[in-house]
Amino acid sequence: MDDIEKELLERKKQLDEIKAPDELEGRLKLALDAAPVTKKVMPKWVMTIVALFFLSLVSYNYNGLAYYGKKIIGFDDLMGGTLAELNEEGMGQTIGQQVVLEDGSQLTVDGIMTDANQLILYYTLSKVKDQEDITFAKITGFLTDSNRGAGTSMLNEEQSEIKGELFFDPVSPFAKKLMLEFTKLTEGGAFMSGSISFPYDPNKAMQTEIKQNIKKKVKVDKGKINFKTITATPTVTMIKGTVDVENLDRVQLPFDKVELLANGQSVELLGSGITSSLGGAKFELRFSALPKKLDSLELVVNEFVGYTTVNEQIPLSTTAEQPFKMNGYDLWVKDAVKTDAGVEITIATDEDVLLDDVSVEGQDGIVPLETTLRQNYETTENEKVVKVRTLLFATDALPDTLQIKGMHHMKAVGEKIEIPVK
């Protein structure tokens, strides 16, 4: 090694003294929390459960119905239909516990609703200034360590108050006092963590309506789904089971086409989560609450993620207006350009399509896909949501064709399971 290299290494040693600032972790956490998961409402993520690993793919849709809650007041715009009705009936617990944070803003736990499936919490953060964000990790208490699932919040017009609805795992019926943990970004960019305690009356938790085993397996293209239990409470209907499907993570919402029919009517799918654990992947599907008078209950797997070999050659002269038909799906080639990095091809497909084994062919021969650079969801003129992404190929010459060997997509299954309710 010569002097120059020694000098450089010496300098590296000095640089190695520089450590990342302590607030980095908090900032990254917030950035991740704010990252969009699905297309409709910004969902928040369900967190880890001790040794089990994690929950993914959570999506939530809200009805935003105009019920006027008289019990927990001021959350009309956030509460969905069922929850608003329950609140109207006085099924929630008003709390009104407040805490003033270091930066002068004020956090209020307005009320909660609990049952065997979940805890729903309503909060208000007032006297906020611009650029402030608050996140909630979990609720703790006696025999209780409930991670947060989805959440949604709204800022008022004056931008001085945030009202939010948070969903947590259920809390223990033995807990008398609960503690909500939060982290808040202050104006100066620092993070402060804290907690607020409030009393809890387990006797006010809503009664479970149905809790039974399903124990039915459904075979799908690349594996099987094992539906195990159903727990219906006044706030939500939860179906749990395990899933062993090779390409499960290849579409964003593999359970999107699983339908619950109550009295022959479809019950709205609120969200789905998949946790991979030591024993394989577990899933939970959250549907709306069931009707009070229930005659029949059926679970239908209309479609599930599968795989199709296509072996298509798509000429890059295909224009954006005229889609290429592939296995009944449309594929649009929107753009193909040469950049410093190589050739970038922008394509659009239905949102459930993930292409497999992609390459281009041209004068440089066959060049495999290097990486995908960007991905967005767009809505077309006829209200269809398409997935647009830019593929990068390490070649200098614009190729002639795009080659696609296969695709992961939602495939028809059409299996029906009857769940006895009487």
Q: Give contact residues for another protein (rule: CB under 8 A).
A: 2-5, 7-12, 14-21, 23-25, 27-35, 37, 45, 47-48, 53-57, 189, 249, 274, 276, 340-341, 371-372, 375
Q: Could you give the 3-state DSSP secondary structure of residue 178?
A: strand
Q: Cα–Cα distances in Å, from 286 out to 21, 65, 120, 150?
A: 40, 19, 14, 11
Q: Which is nearer to another protein, 47 or 397 (CB)?
A: 47
Shortest reach from residue 417's CB to another protein, in Å: 26
Instruction: Tell me how far, at minimum, the Cβ of 340 lies from another protein, in Å.
Output: 5
- At its nearest, how many Å lie between another protein and the CB of residue 328? 24
Closest approach, Cβ 294 to another protein, in A, equals 33
CA 106 to chain centre: 28
CB-based contact 372:392 (threshold 8 Å):
yes
Q: Quick one: which H or E segment has residue 285?
A: strand 280-287
CB nearer to another protein: pick between 242 and 263: 242
Of 85 and 249, which has the nearer Cβ to another protein? 249
Query: What are the beta bridge partners of residue 66?
Result: none
Give every CB contact of residue 415 below 8 A, 6+ residues apart in sequence. Answer: 218, 219, 300, 301
- Cα 397 to chain centroid distance, Å, stands at 39
Distance of closest approach, residue 105 Cβ to another protein, in angstroms: 22
Residues near 284 by beta carbon (within 8 Å), at least 6 away in sequence = 238, 239, 240, 272, 273
CB 269 within 8 A of CB 286: yes
- Whole-angstrom CA distances from 81 to 65, 67, 86, 143 are 5, 7, 9, 31
Q: How many residues make up the chain in this entry?
A: 422
If the CB atoms of residues 76 and 249 are measured against another protein, the closer one turns out to be: 249
Which one, 212 or 375, has the nearer CB to another protein? 375
d(CA 28, CA 181): 18
Given the complex with another protein, which of 32 and 100 has the nearer CB atom? 32
Alpha carbon of 359 to those of 320, 400, 403: distances in Å? 19, 11, 5
Which is nearest to 251 in space by CA: 351, 392, 343? 351
Which residue number, 17 or 130, has a Cβ lying nearer to another protein? Answer: 17
As measured in angstroms, the least distance from the Cβ of 372 to another protein is 5
Nearer to another protein, 183 or 276 (CB): 276
Q: How far apart are CA 287 and CA 117, in angstroms?
A: 11
Q: Contact at 8 Å (CB) between 201 and 390?
A: no
- CB closer to another protein, 31 vs 412: 31
* Least Å from the CB of residue 9 to another protein: 7
Whole-number minimum distance, CB 249 to another protein, in Å? 6
- As measured in angstroms, the least distance from the Cβ of 339 to another protein is 9
